Structure formats: C-alpha cells, structure tokens
Amino acid sequence: MSDAAWAHVCRSMEELRALAGAVNLLSWDQETYMPPRGAAARGEQLAALQGLGHERLVDPRLGEALERAEAAPGDEERRAALAALRFDRDRAVRVPVALVKELARSQSRGVQAWRTAREASAFARFAPELTHLVELRREMADALGVPPGGERYDALLEGYEPGMRVARLEPLLRRLAGWLAPLADRAASATVEDGFLRGRFEAGAQWDFTLELLEAMGFDLQAGRQDRSAHPFSTGIDPGDVRLTTRIHEELPLSAIFSTLHEGGHGLYEQGLPERWRGSVLGAAASYGLHESQSRLWENQVGRSLPFWRHFLPRLAARFPSLAGVPVEAFHRAANKVERTLIRVEADEVTYNLHIVLRFELEVALLRGQLQVADLPAAWSDRCAALLGVRPARDAEGCLQDIHWAWGEIGYFPTYTLGNLYAASLFAAAGRDLPGLEEEIGTGNLAPLLGWLREKVHRAGRTLPAEELVRRATGAGLTDEDLRRALTAKVERLCRT
C-alpha cells in the first residue's frame, strides 16, 4: 500500500520537476534569445505552466498519497524527500488561489509601475502599487502562518531561507553593520591606482576569457552553457543543463569577469546536485542563502584573492596587452577597491552588506506597519546616509534602484548577506581541510576547492537545512566571525601595500 503511495509521490515529483525545468528554460530564453514580439505569448506560457505546477502540487490525490507515504516513510533519503515535499505542498495549499492570482497580477503591474517610476525617478508613481503589494504580502504571511513567537516577515523568509527568523537576523545584521562601517572607512583610505582598467577592452576577448575562467572553475560546458543578457543570471534546468549569462562592458573589464565567477558559482552548485535526484524534490539547493554562498565564494573568496590573480592576470594580459606590465598586487587592489556608493549591484565586498542591512531594516518595518510606503524615500535616504555615509540625490539611485519589491519579493534581500556569511565560513573551513589551498589556487588548480564544495555542500541537495549543512562543513552555524576575519585581513593588507 505504501509502495503505491510512494510511487504516486515519485511520479508527482517527477512531473513537478519537469514543469519547473520547462519554466526555467522559458525564462532563460526570455532574457537571451526571445524576439521582442514574443513577450505576450511567453507570459501566457509561463502562467500556464506555473498554474499547472501549482494545481499538481495542491492536488488532493497527491495529499492522500503523501499522507500514506509518510505513515511508512522508509529510509532516510525517502524521509527527507517526504519532508521537503510536505514543506512545499503545505505552503502551496495554505495560500488561497485568489490571492496567488491577485499577487501575480499585482507583480506584473508593480514591475511596470516601477519601470516608469524609476525612469522618471518619481517614487509617487510606484507608491500605490507597492502599497498594494505590501498589503498582499501581509495577507500571504497570515495565510502561510506566522511561526510561534515570530512575526509576519518570518513566514515570508521561510520561503527563501527555511528556519531563519527576524529575531536572529536583526542582532546579526546590527553587529555586522557595527564592524563593517569602520572597516569601510579604513578600506576607503587606501590608495588605489586603477588607471590600467580604463580604455577599451574588446568584447570578444573578454568573452573568451570568461570561458577560460569557467573551464578553470570546473564548470562542465557539456552540461551547461554561457550566453549574454542585460542582467546576468543563472538557472538550473537539470544538473546536465545549467544556463549562465554574463554582461560585457567594453569599458569595464572587471564586470564580465566577476559576473561569470558569480554565476559560475551558482552553476557549479546546480551541476553538483546528484543526478539520481533529477526527478526528486531533493535535487535542489537547501536555501537561497546557501545558493548565494556558492556564487559569492567564487566571486569574492576566490576571484578577489591575490593567489587567483597570480595565476590569471598573465592569462588576462595575454588577451589584453595593455595589462602586461601591471603588478599583480596593483591589480588585486583595483579588484578590491572600496567606495561608499549608492548602488547595491555595483558595491564592493566590504560595503555590499550595508546595502542589505538598509533594505532589511526597511522591509521589516514596512511589513510590521511601522513604516508607511509614502515615507519610504525619506527613510531610505536617512538610513542610507547613516549606514553608507552617502545620500541619494534621486529616488532612482535610492529606493527605486532594485526590482525586488516591484515583484513583491519581501524577505529575499537578507539571503544575499547570508550568502556572504556562509561563503566566508565555508572558504575558511575549506582552507583548514585542504592545506595548501591558496597555493593550488595560485597555480590555477581550482579542482581541490570544487571537490570540497561538491562533498560538503552540493551533493547534499535539499536533505539538510542550510545552516545544519554549513555546521557539518565548518563546525559552526551562521556567524559573522569568518567574514570579519577575512575582510579585516584583506583590508589591512590593502592599506599596507
């Protein structure tokens, strides 16, 4: 009896994965190759597939099969799959279909209003839609259920970072801001000569160098590919089909490099998910924060390190002779230049998390009702000045810079900082486990690091909560100590040389 139930659960999981894979491919194509006039039909295709996926997930027959399978759960792996599917299904079932549809409509209107508002730098044009979106997210949080002793924000956070709570994030981010701000001051005082990064760096040669990087990272181009898009992203259709994009600016040669390292890190995680879970809910990342840790680790811990550039600067200079005479220390300094600026996506490794603290504080306040949407620009401006030491002259450079809220995504931003923290802790643990890791990186051998990540992170899929997985890999849970240590050492070095 329970065998039949488990078989039903497996068929459902396979269908859900197939639908999700199709959605991911359609979304990838939308940003890469779709002709402009295909947009309307694409919207309908995505809505239809997502609707079908939701319908299958909440199907009462799946609910019955799941209950029967849970009654005789079998081995550990099966138990983990049942728990993960239960998690997804319960969240899907709890939100009324009417609310899902209203949210979809409002997101679409929200993004349109946000684009118009950002172009005109006029927050008022976006405010009504954002007010409605915040209201819908509050309703959604109530429908999902606020955890005991928690608050609405926790119910949303649970969708990105299962188990995480405002009560843990608030003190953590406060402490983080406490040491990041003076560190940013110290770092900004370092002299950075980066004139060699000015000029024109031909797109084709940049592209070839990013492919060289992907190959060095161990990204399997038989099981994935890189293309160009306006905003870099990555998507895992299957461990055998992982799509990355990068963005090339001919005047900003570091942009494509760090985009590729970042998206390549996401891609390695997706390629490292066990193939036997292709059709299972377990063949996925443990959390958004853990996913981000993989991109940040390759972008920052590896890609902004001195050993990395010892190996790769001569290779880059082989493609761009103007860099031939640049000392590696000077290049490393330029790749780590710290500045107090307004735009999150252009921020350096030190100030980046201050941008996240700003957004987290404001969205928690919005959801609690402590901050009204109309007061957001002023609040943004004040907190930005306090945290980052700069004040936006226009909303377009302030609270209108990110698309997340226009999508109604509230609770997403902290996963960026969780990713930075996990990345630092994982890299520190890899360094302890793998003596000579820096030397290997310095010779361009990134395989030992990838092997460690495969074993400690990728191959677990969704069998463990993110923090538990990190604890097993590093010996400790979520902490800002490793990032503090690494960034402090880096800044000291930059100020010394």
In the shown chain, the binding pattern of residues 265 to 284 toward its own copies, with x for contact by CB under 8 A and - for none, equals -------------xx-----
**Residue of 70, 129, 263, 363 marked active site:** 263
Instruction: Write down the residue that tokens 């538990």 correspond to.
Output: 468
Residue pair 303/261 in contact (Cβ under 8 Å)? The answer is yes
Cβ–Cβ under 8 Å, residues 203 and 248: yes
263 catalytic residue (yes or no): yes
Q: Label each residue of 120-147 as H, E or C.
A: HCCHHHCHHHHHHHHHHHHHHHHHHCCC
Residue 354 φ/ψ, nearest 5 degrees: -65, -35
Does 34 bind its own copies (CB under 8 A)? Our answer is: yes
Task: Choose, by CB under 8 A, the member of 2, 8, 10, 18 that binds its own copies.
Answer: 18
Q: Using CA atoms, how far apart are residues 470 and 422, in angstroms rounded to an integer?
A: 7
Query: H/E element holding 264?
Result: helix 253-272
Q: Which is nearer to its own copies, 1 or 40 (CB)?
A: 40
How many other CB atoms are found less than 10 A from the CB of residue 175?
A: 12
Count of residues that bind its own copies according to CB under 8 A: 39
Query: Which tokens go with 9?
Result: 């659960």
**Alpha-carbon span 89 to 16, nearest angstrom:** 11
Interface with its own copies, residue 14, by CB under 8 A: yes
The reply on whether position 238 binds its own copies by CB under 8 A is yes
Q: DSSP for 197-217?
A: G-S---HHHHHHHHHHHHHHH
Q: Segment 52-71, which members bind its own copies (CB under 8 A)?
A: 52
Selected from 1, 37, 148, 230, the binder of its own copies by CB under 8 A is 37
By CB under 8 A, residue 223 contacts its own copies: yes
If the CB atoms of residues 32 and 107 are measured against its own copies, the closer one turns out to be 32
Q: Pick the stretch among 41-49, 321-329, 330-338, 404-412 that binds its own copies (CB under 8 A).
A: 41-49
385 binds its own copies (CB under 8 A): no
Using the minimum distance from each CB to its own copies, give the nearer residue, 52 or 122. Answer: 52
What amino acid is encoded at 281 in this protein? Answer: V
Q: Is 47 in the site for its own copies (CB under 8 A)?
A: yes
Strand order across the 224-228 sheet: 224-228, 241-246, 234-238
The rounded distance, in Å, linking the Cα atoms of 414 and 400 is: 18
Q: Quick check: 26 binds its own copies (CB under 8 A)?
A: yes
Which region, judged by CB under 8 A, interacts with its own copies, from 22-30, 62-70, 113-121, 333-341?
22-30
Q: What's the min distance (Å) between Cβ of 295 and its own copies?
A: 20
CA distance 360 to 333: 30
369 residue type, one letter: G
- C-alpha angle with apex 108: 152 to 404, nearest 5 degrees? 50
Rule CB under 8 A: choose which of 40, 182, 204, 230 binds its own copies: 40
Amino acid making up residue 149: G
Could you tell me which stretch among 44-52, 128-136, 315-323, 330-338 binds its own copies (CB under 8 A)?
A: 44-52
Return the range that interacts with its own copies (CB under 8 A); candidates 10-18, 166-174, 201-209, 317-325: 10-18
- Distance of alpha carbon 359 from alpha carbon 350, whole angstroms: 16
Q: Does 224 bind its own copies (CB under 8 A)?
A: yes
Question: What phi, psi does 227 have (nearest 5°)?
Answer: -135, 180
Shortest distance (Å) from residue 238 CB to its own copies:
3
Q: Which of 7, 38, 112, 485 binds its own copies (CB under 8 A)?
A: 38
Find the shortest distance in angstroms from Cβ 282 to its own copies: 15
DSSP state for residue 301 in the 8-state scheme: I
Could you say whether residue 100 binds its own copies (CB under 8 A)?
A: no
The residues annotated as belonging to the active site are 263
Interface contacts to its own copies, rule CB under 8 A: 14-15, 17-19, 21-22, 25-26, 29, 33-42, 44-45, 47-49, 52, 220-225, 227, 237-238, 240-241, 278-279
